[in-house]
Structure 1
Amino acid sequence: MTDRSAAIDMFLENAGWQGAIRSPLAGDASNRRYERIAGPQGKAVLMDAPSTKGEDVRPFISITNLLRSQGLSAPEVMAADVENGFLLLEDLGDDLFARVVAADETTETPLYEAATDVLISLHSVEVPEDIAPYSPAFMAEMAALAWRWYLRGAEVADEDKANLFQNRFEQLLQQHAPLCDVLIQRDYHAENLLWLPDREGVARVGLLDYQDAMAGHRAYDLVSLLQDARRDVPQTTEHRMIAHYVEHSGVDMQEFLAAYHVLGAQRNLRILGVFARLCMHFGKAHYVDFIPRVWGYLLRDLAHPALEPIRDVVLQDLPAPSSDILNRLKEKCATIPTL
């Protein structure tokens, strides 16, 4: 038994779950690990987030408390060991939106409308002062990961081009999406949302993986939901949910659409870089398989008139993800040891 495994046993014993049955749950792109815990009390979820690997459970606890205070279904934190990075969480079940919709396509509209309603509700809440902003400068830096990692895997990274794009794109973000006035969860999509039909209203949507929440633009999480790297969201659903959000939030449609597509381009460029990095540095080659879908969303965003100032440079600098380029990325899996 490793020292960490023994520490988990002690944590569970102190929390009153001694002897509980443990089984692995699917992880995510981070260094966090999850287990389902079953005992006489019922079920719970163990989050194992080692600080030695750069994890910190405190933001998760803080955002959880904020979300729950607004009647949203973030999992209750039942026990915590902040120093060791252990949390025992309420088990919200296995009905991820992606699974529910795959089993019954007729559920897509009501589930996505419920998820959009969560955002409408959350965006009426004042953002705590200690939440960092997802600012245009930071967003532009993140978008340039496409040059620093995707282009690095596909061809040869060009730092001068990355810097040039970053500066031009920051100006565009300042023009169309400068506000950081709502809480954004940043990974708000069908594999981080759980359907809880026995609850009411916005509480029917279970929330996961929000520890990296920041203060950002109100269109950002809607983009995350509707331009999902892991599943195809029909454009009819995308248009319907944008209209639903605009109608119930009172924002201007044209201004919101411009911000939505500029932020969509930002998010999809960032994901191109992140997925390439997950493969080449972290050895997670399966993320490369999502890149063609992300590229398709990027082209959709670039078609909006607000993206005209950077459209040509993106398409000239970044090659489309052909099978040859995707294979090249996978050939470099786990070959770049330093970030």
Structure 2
Amino acid sequence: MTERDAEIRSFLARNGLAGAARTPLAGDASSRRYERLGTPDGSTLILVDTPVPDEDLLPFMAIGEALAGIGLSVPAIHAADTGRGLALQDDFGDETFTRLLAEGADPEALYALATDALVALHRSWPVGESERLGLPVYDAALFVEQTMLFADVYVPAACGSPLSDKDRSEFETLWRAVVEPACAGPASLLLRDYHVDNVLRLPRDGVRAAGLIDFQNAGHGPVAYDLVSLLEDARRDVAPELAEAMVARYLAAFPELDAAAFRRSMAVLGAVRHARILAIFVRLALKGRRGYLVHLGRVWRLLESQLAKPELAPVAGWFARHLPPGTRADFVVPETT
């Protein structure tokens, strides 16, 4: 038994779950682990095991409390040992929107619910709450910094050599020119990883039927970011007409918004997100975690669709000059040993 195993067993015993049946659950790209626990009364809980509680568990608990306070559904925490990065939380079940879609559920109904949850969040998130929670501000500087992961990880892997200082500086300058206007509109809590894997359907009314998870990395930033995260999903195709209907649904809820500016913000922030995800997938592959490469072609299609828009013309020009055929969707990441 490892030291970590002993800590988990002790934590479970202190909370009356020494003999609980434990079933590992699928994880994500992080170092967090999850297990489903059978409790003595026949219900279930989720064990959260994270080695970095200051980055994961503590923000999750604080942000979750705030989200619950405005009427959204998040897993309640039943017990926690924050010093060791362990917690027991509600089990929202297995009905992720991803699973429901695979089983033939109506996509429009699910995406409408997810969009309405964002509307509720952006209407109700208290002014100053993100600052009170100490959340990072997702401003232009931070988004530009995220694009640099593409310059520093993806480009060397795909092109065989790092960028020159001049080319890297130009990449950064061009992104800054398009990102700054995209961040000029309204801001709210930014969940940051909002997609159908991270929303579950619950037997509750209204927007509370959307169970939200995986928001420990949330910050404060442009309201367009989470909607483009939902509708331009790295892991699954979303029909263009469905995506357009959801953008229209969101905008109808906020008639005071400048719709054209919002759409430009979605385009730029979507491109930022896709560039960063491409770099993350390649970085994981170079470390031996190659499962995400199946999505590389889709993410490139999403990125190139945004690069074709006028607001991203300066960045698109850089891509055209520096990423020739063989370095984009058809790039084969080499095996590592």
Q: Write the mapping of 1:242-257 to structure 2, written as runs, cut at 5 A.
A: 242-250=247-255, 251-257=257-263
Q: Write the mapping of 1:7-22 to structure 2, written as runs, cut at 5 A.
A: 7-22=7-22
Q: Write the mapping of 1:47-58 to structure 2, written as runs, cut at 5 A.
A: 47-51=48-52, 55-58=55-58
Equivalent pairs, count? 328
Selected match of 2:199 from 168, 193, 200:
193
TM score, norm. by length of structure 2: 0.92
Q: Secondary structure at the match of 2:189?
A: strand
Label 1:256 to 1:15 Cα distance change in 2 as closer, same or farther (>3 A): same
- Quote the residue 1:128 is aligned against: 130
Amino acid in structure 2 at the alignment position of 1:192: N
Label 1:278 to 1:119 Cα distance change in 2 as closer, same or farther (>3 A): same
Name the CA distance, whole Å, in 1 between partners of 2:262 and 2:148. 23
- Quote the residue 1:291 is aligned against: 296
Structure 1 position 56, deviation (Å):
3.8
Q: Which ranges of structure 2 fall in alignment gaps of 5 or more residues?
A: none
Q: Retained in 1: the 8 A contact 2:56–2:217?
A: no
- Quote the residue 2:142 is aligned against: 138
Selected match of 1:152 from 141, 149, 156:
156
Label 1:15 to 1:28 Cα distance change in 2 as closer, same or farther (>3 A): same
- Quote the residue 2:46 is aligned against: 45
- Quote the residue 1:88 is aligned against: 88
- Quote the residue 1:181 is aligned against: 187
Structure 1 position 277, deviation (Å):
1.1
Q: Retained in 2: the 8 A contact 1:279–1:285?
A: yes
- Quote the residue 1:101 is aligned against: 101
Amino acid in structure 2 at the alignment position of 1:171: A
- Quote the residue 2:115 is aligned against: 116
Q: Write the mapping of 1:222-241 to structure 2, written as runs, cut at 5 A.
A: 222-241=227-246
Structure 1 position 330, deviation (Å):
3.9
RMSD in angstroms over aligned alpha carbons? 1.9
Q: Secondary structure at the match of 2:35?
A: strand
Q: Secondary structure at the match of 2:137?
A: coil
Q: Retained in 2: the 8 A contact 1:288–1:326?
A: no
* CA deviation map 1:85-129 (0-9, x unaligned): 001110000011011011115x10010011001111111212421
Structure 1 position 179, deviation (Å):
4.5
Structure 1 position 289, deviation (Å):
1.6
Name the CA distance, whole Å, in 1 between partners of 2:194 and 2:262. 18
TM score, norm. by length of structure 1: 0.92
Larger mean CA deviation between 261-270 and 315-324 belongs to 315-324
1:221 equivalent in alignment to 2:220? no
Name the CA distance, whole Å, in 1 between partners of 2:100 and 2:164. 43
Q: Retained in 1: the 8 A contact 2:300–2:329?
A: no
- Quote the residue 2:265 is aligned against: 259
Q: Write the mapping of 1:25-44 to structure 2, written as runs, cut at 5 A.
A: 25-41=25-41, 42-44=43-45
Q: Retained in 2: the 8 A contact 1:25–1:36?
A: yes
Q: Retained in 2: the 8 A contact 1:135–1:180?
A: no
Q: Write the mapping of 1:272-311 to structure 2, written as runs, cut at 5 A.
A: 272-281=278-287, 283-311=288-316
- Quote the residue 1:170 is aligned against: 176
Label 1:194 to 1:149 Cα distance change in 2 as closer, same or farther (>3 A): same
Name the CA distance, whole Å, in 1 between partners of 2:46 and 2:253. 35
Q: Secondary structure at the match of 2:262?
A: helix
Name the CA distance, whole Å, in 2 between partners of 1:78 and 1:6. 20
Amino acid in structure 2 at the alignment position of 1:59: P
Q: Retained in 1: the 8 A contact 2:73–2:210?
A: yes
Name the CA distance, whole Å, in 1 between partners of 2:198 and 2:326. 26
Name the CA distance, whole Å, in 2 between partners of 1:67 and 1:320. 45
Q: Secondary structure at the match of 1:191?
A: helix
Q: Secondary structure at the match of 2:19?
A: coil
Q: Which ranges of structure 1 fall in alignment gaps of 5 or more residues?
A: none
Name the CA distance, whole Å, in 2 between partners of 1:176 and 1:185. 18
* CA deviation map 1:168-206 (0-9, x unaligned): 21121112223572001111001111111x201111111
Structure 1 position 319, deviation (Å):
4.3
